[in-house]
Amino acid sequence: MPFNSIHRAFFPFTHNSPGSSPGSCALRGRPSGRSRGRVPRTFEASLLRRSAGILAFTASSLLASTALAEDFNPQSRIGAVTVFPEGAEITRQAALEMPAGAHRIVFERLPDGIRPNDVRVEGLADGNLVIQAVDVARVPVTGDPAQTNALRKEREELGDNKELLEGRIRTAEVQRQMIMMLVRPPAVPKDVALAQPPMPPDQLFAFIAERHAEIEETIRKAQQDIRDIDRRIAEIDRELSRTSGEQEWASRITVSVNAQGDVQGKLRLRYRLRDASWQPVYDARLDTSAETAKLQLTQRALVRQHTGEDWNGVALTLATARPQGSTAAPDVQVRYVGFARPVPRERAMGGALYDDRSASAEVAAPAPEPEAVMRKEMEESRAAVTDLGFDAVYSVPGLADIPATDDSRLVLVGDHDVDSKMEARIVPAVREAAFLTVSFSHKGAAPLPPGTVRLFRDGVFVGEGHLPLANPGQKTELGFGIDERIEVTRRLVSKQRGEEGIFSRARTDTNDWRTVIANHHSVPIDVVVLESLPQTLDEKINVSPLSTNDPADESDVDGKSGVQAWRFTLDAQGERTLAFGYRIDWPQGQNVVLGMR
């Protein structure tokens, strides 16, 4: 405010007299005589005093408004955690109460490794509270000198107490030896014994028993106190070594806010950390006593974390999404094919032109620069990390405690009772055994992610397997081990090798098997037998099934060429024999190799 304005505002009773200079002041009415010349100076002095008061008031107001800005360190606790297959999102909650003004809310000693882009702040307040900025800093963790001195003093006192207890034990052991001397008193001269009559035996034994019990209790109590002291000393030594060892780091998050008035509210701080993970595990319990197989699937999660802070009493959520994975489809790269070029001698001999690439990669590179092609292939490899194709969230019931020790903690997700079908699956060419296989369709709202499954058959643990990804409505199979009550025998009844033809000689190889399946159960059981008819890789090789083969019920099972299946129900105590064989023809002078893919 200009000086004249202040003057006019606070002195309405003044005016400028004719001929006076601007800014001079006079009372209404004309002052007399001598006092006329001093009037302006008097009012000027008063005006200066009043102006100084106004300036002082303005400055104090500015200082007061500045003093309202302060740092708040609210008490916060972890309320909820969402764990991903790689990483976790932690939600901290804090209560706020602050006056009007600009303030900073500081969260100290958070785990190291929090990135600024992984922090989100939100909340509710009963007034106008605006979040202006969020800053993340990596700060060293310094020990408290007062706490360190207190620990050292405590350790010294514990050492003194331990010495006192050890001395008490030594004294008690001497007393115990003296008591034992009363049981076997030393020989004394006869005249001395007559002068000092001995204590009656009953009193002597009672005295010895009482004193011996007191001594033993003293020793036991002292030893127990020493063990407690040793444990506490070990804790202090670990704490001192931690504070005096390698520099530790922590994250500090500062939230700048502006409150239009006194506000109360709750703040939620979310941040992501990498040092956490979860993987699904299952228990599959099969009951074969019922007419239809009953399968109960218990879903659990194996959670571990070493973020630097314990998760105690948190609402735990498990998510199948991978925030750190690829979110966009990879680019399709142009591929080339060409004739191999000779490798330069310098590269082949490891000369100056050799750049640590393999010879096979260099030969396979066509006309474009080999270095560019190699770089594209490496990019494709990095982009090959894909998600499971779905996002599911599992809320763990109740509150969970997950310590930051990197130890696995098993939490229950839920149970699933599924309708299943049971059959004995036999692959006689690989193993003469029947494997109990259960197929089911998952009817839950969310898919079941793949994971390790522990298998129980009629309450007996039979081993571990792997549960593939089970989408809702999709058929899924689990193997429950060998069924010992189904006997499988496979034998080669005919094997012939020879040559045929007059003008064009050809070689032949004929194999004919019989597989016998016997059901020793007291109930019928469904059986599926799988055999593989070899597939040719050259048109000069011919493979044909034998005419004696039993007709297969299904060919090219699961899209595998040549795989045939026989499905039937085997009665209780029943038996069936399957015939399977094939003949291979190829030109003479060639060698045939039979393999698997």
Looking at domain 486-587, its CATH architecture is Sandwich (2.60)
pLDDT given at position 557: 92
| Chain segment 100-110, per-residue pLDDT in tens | 999 999 999 99
pLDDT greater than 80 at residue 301 = yes
**What ranges do the domains of the chain cover?**
3-67, 71-274, 276-323+389-482, 486-587
397-453 confidence digits (pLDDT tens)? 888 899 998 888 988 888 888 888 999 999 999 999 999 999 998 887 778 889 999
Q: How far apart are CA 409 and CA 302, in angstroms?
A: 6
What tokens appear for 169 in the block? 């034990």
Q: Average pLDDT, stretch 207-212?
A: 83
From residue 109, how far is each of 104, 113, 247, 394, 490 by CA, in Å?
A: 16, 12, 14, 30, 69
Is residue 396 pLDDT above 50, yes or no?
yes
Amino acid at site 362: E
* Beta-bridge partner residues of 292: none
State the chain's mean pLDDT as an integer. Answer: 77
Helix, strand, or coil (residue 400): strand
Q: Give the phi and the psi of residue 342 in degrees, each rounded to 5.
A: -65, 140
| pLDDT of res. 163 | 94
pLDDT at 54 over 60: no
Question: Does position 189 have pLDDT exceeding 50, yes or no?
Answer: yes
Better-predicted residue by pLDDT, 552 or 142: 552
The tens digit of pLDDT for each residue in 472-481 reads 888 899 999 9
pLDDT band at 293 (very low <50, low <70, confident <90, very high): confident
pLDDT, residue 246, reads: 66
Residue 203 has pLDDT above 50, yes or no: yes
pLDDT digits (tens, 9 = 90+) for 351-373: 333 333 333 333 333 333 333 33
The pLDDT assigned to 241 comes to 76
pLDDT of residue 416: 84
- Mind listing the pLDDT tens digit for each residue in 535-548? 888 888 899 999 99
Range scoring the smallest mean pLDDT among 471-485, 496-510, 519-533: 496-510
Segment 132-152, tens digit of pLDDT: 999 999 998 776 677 888 888
Instruction: Please state, in angstroms and rounded to a whole number, the distance separating the CA atoms of residues 398 and 320.
Output: 20
What pLDDT is stored for residue 341 in this prediction? 57
* Alpha carbon separation from 563 to 453, 521, 544, 552, 553 (Å, rounded): 28, 28, 14, 10, 11
